[in-house]
């Protein structure tokens, strides 16, 4: 599992010109599900996302989590994150979970986030989405399970 975590001032996702998810200050998550991911992987990653300290405290240090600031989370499925890009000029998706199991795992991951945090929005799995964001910093981390 790979999660590209971005600290944002605001973010939204649209499908066919309609906003389906939006947050103010918080985290935009682009989520790639891989073949070997399971329920334990999802739990560890959800907890890590909720507790990951990327927001500044009173001294300007990254010591606060999205929970600490009561921020939002926008979770977007991102199949291409699971690509292997080490060789050649074309990505290989052999490590990505098949669509059926990836969707189920993504839904479970979103539910875990919602269990841990009250402000979670989403896009739609496998949809053609447009994601808009104002990256704060910019601050971006790739979390891998």
Domain residue spans of the chain: 2-11+21-129
For this structure, is 78 an active site residue? yes
Q: Which residue among 47, 80, 111, 130 is the active-site one?
A: 80
- For residue 49, the model assigns a pLDDT of 98
Contact 66, 26 (CB under 8 A): yes
- For residue 114, the model assigns a pLDDT of 98
User: Which residues lie closer than 8 Å to 18 by C-beta, 6 or more apart?
Assistant: none
Contact 85, 38 (CB under 8 A): no
Encoded tokens for 135: 């990256």
- For residue 31, the model assigns a pLDDT of 98
- Alpha-carbon dihedral sign for residues 118, 124, 130, 135: positive
For this structure, is 80 an active site residue? yes
CATH class, 2-11+21-129 region: alpha beta
pLDDT by residue, tens only, the chain of 145 residues: 999 999 999 999 999 999 999 999 999 999 999 999 999 999 999 999 999 999 999 999 999 999 999 999 999 999 999 999 999 999 999 999 999 999 999 999 999 999 999 999 999 999 999 999 999 999 999 999 8
**What are the tens digits of pLDDT across the range 8-44?**
999 999 999 999 999 999 999 999 999 999 999 999 9
Q: Which residue among 79, 109, 122, 125 is the active-site one?
A: 79
Q: Which residue among 6, 19, 55, 78 is the active-site one?
A: 78
Q: Which of 42, 39, 61 is nearest to 50 (CA)?
A: 42
- C-alpha to C-alpha distance for 92 and 35, rounded to whole angstroms: 13
- For residue 66, the model assigns a pLDDT of 98
């Amino acid at each position: 599992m790979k999660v590209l975590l971005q600290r944002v001032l605001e973010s939204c996702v649209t499908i066919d010109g309609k906003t389906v998810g939006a947050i103010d200050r918080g985290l935009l998550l682009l989520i790639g599900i891989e073949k070997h991911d399971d329920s334990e992987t999802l739990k560890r990653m959800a907890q890590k996302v909720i507790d990951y300290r990327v927001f500044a405290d009173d001294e300007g240090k990254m010591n606060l989590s999205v929970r600490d600031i009561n921020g939002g989370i926008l979770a977007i499925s991102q199949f291409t994150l699971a690509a292997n890009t080490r060789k050649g000029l074309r990505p290989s998706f052999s490590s990505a979970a098949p669509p059926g199991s990836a969707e189920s795992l993504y839904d479970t991951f979103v539910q875990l986030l919602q269990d841990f945090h009250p402000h979670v929005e989403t896009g739609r799995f496998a949809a053609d989405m447009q994601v808009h964001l104002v990256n704060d910093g910019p601050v971006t981390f790739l979390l891998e399970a």
